[in-house]
Amino acid sequence: MTDKQLEGMPGTNPTPPMAMPTDWKQVKFAPPTDEDMNLLAGLRSGSEPWKQRGETHAESLEALTKLRPFISVGKLNGAVCGYVTIERDGPVPGAAYLRNIVVKNEFRQKGLGHVLLDQGLAVARDMNRKTLALRVDPANGPAVSFYRKVGFTTVATVVSKKSGKLRLLMSREL
Ligand SMILES: CC(C)(COP(=O)(O)OP(=O)(O)OC[C@H]1O[C@@H](n2cnc3c(N)ncnc32)[C@H](O)[C@@H]1OP(=O)(O)O)[C@@H](O)C(=O)NCCC(=O)NCCS
């Protein structure tokens, strides 16, 4: 029997998969476990801007190990869905510093970035900071658009010491 014939039979029409809206309120944040660190390294090395720079899994793991005290991991039903890092000090004196924010690919453009950022803002407020700063590659369009959308404005253009490339220095009040 063909699909067409099946469609015509009562009770056999294929049900389209239901789009399940994700409830981001169920995302729980915690410091990373040893097992998470490996997953986060995969997330970072597979995401822009590190992917395009050719950063390896091992290099990502090394960078994230240094950042470990500042990482909040977001988990949905126990599975890693993204992470954000907040340091008390960064390039803007007196401002907390957001160095990484990464949403797992399959969850992008569904509002999870906002949830990770809210977590980052809460951590920065707990540090008694009034401002949150970050640096972003102007070529990273999705990130620049995201930061503007959530209230960051460009305060300066700086040259990265590591790459010699231009970066936007952005900040917002908490
Ligand atoms: C930047 C990032 C964290 C945003 O997370 P997200 O969950 O996709 O963002 P949200 O769904 O909460 O917000 C959506 C908004 O972000 C911006 N945005 C996100 N992805 C975008 C894309 N591919 N193109 C253009 N704008 C994009 C837009 O402003 C969008 O608003 P709109 O839908 O009204 O246009 C995510 O794209 C990511 O993990 N990128 C890779 C890592 C990275 O570049 N991090 C920043 C440097 S550390």
Q: The pTM is what? A: 0.90
What does each of the 174 residues of the chain score in pLDDT, given as a tens digit?
444 444 444 545 555 554 555 788 899 999 999 999 999 999 999 999 999 999 999 999 999 999 999 999 999 999 999 999 999 999 999 999 999 999 999 999 999 999 999 999 999 999 999 999 999 999 999 999 999 999 999 999 999 888 899 999 999 999
Instruction: Report yes or no on 72 lying in a domain.
Output: yes
Residue 72 beta carbon below 6 angstroms from any ligand 1 atom = no
- Tell me which DSSP letter residue 23 carries: -
Residue 22 beta carbon below 6 angstroms from any ligand 1 atom = no
Instruction: Report yes or no on 13 lying in a domain.
Output: no
Q: Which of 172, 169, 63 is nearest to 121 (CA)?
A: 172
| Cα separations in angstroms, 124 against 33, 50, 89, 132, 158 | 21, 24, 10, 7, 23
Instruction: Report yes or no on 98 lying in a domain.
Output: yes
Number of domains in the chain: 1
User: Cis link prior to 10 (omega < 30° from 0)?
Assistant: no
DSSP string computed for 111-147: THHHHHHHHHHHHHHHTT-SEEEEEE-TT-HHHHHHH
What is the distance between the alpha carbons of residues 88 and 76, in angstroms, rounded to a whole number? Answer: 27
Instruction: Report yes or no on 65 lying in a domain.
Output: yes
| Cα separations in angstroms, 13 against 6, 8, 10, 22, 96 | 7, 7, 7, 27, 55
Mutate which of 146, 147, 160, 169 for ligand 1 pocket (most atoms within 8 A of beta carbon): 146
Range of the domain at 35: 25-129
Instruction: Report yes or no on 75 lying in a domain.
Output: yes
Instruction: Report yes or no on 70 lying in a domain.
Output: yes
Instruction: Report yes or no on 45 lying in a domain.
Output: yes
Instruction: Report yes or no on 68 lying in a domain.
Output: yes
Residue 32 maps to which CATH number?
3.40.630.30
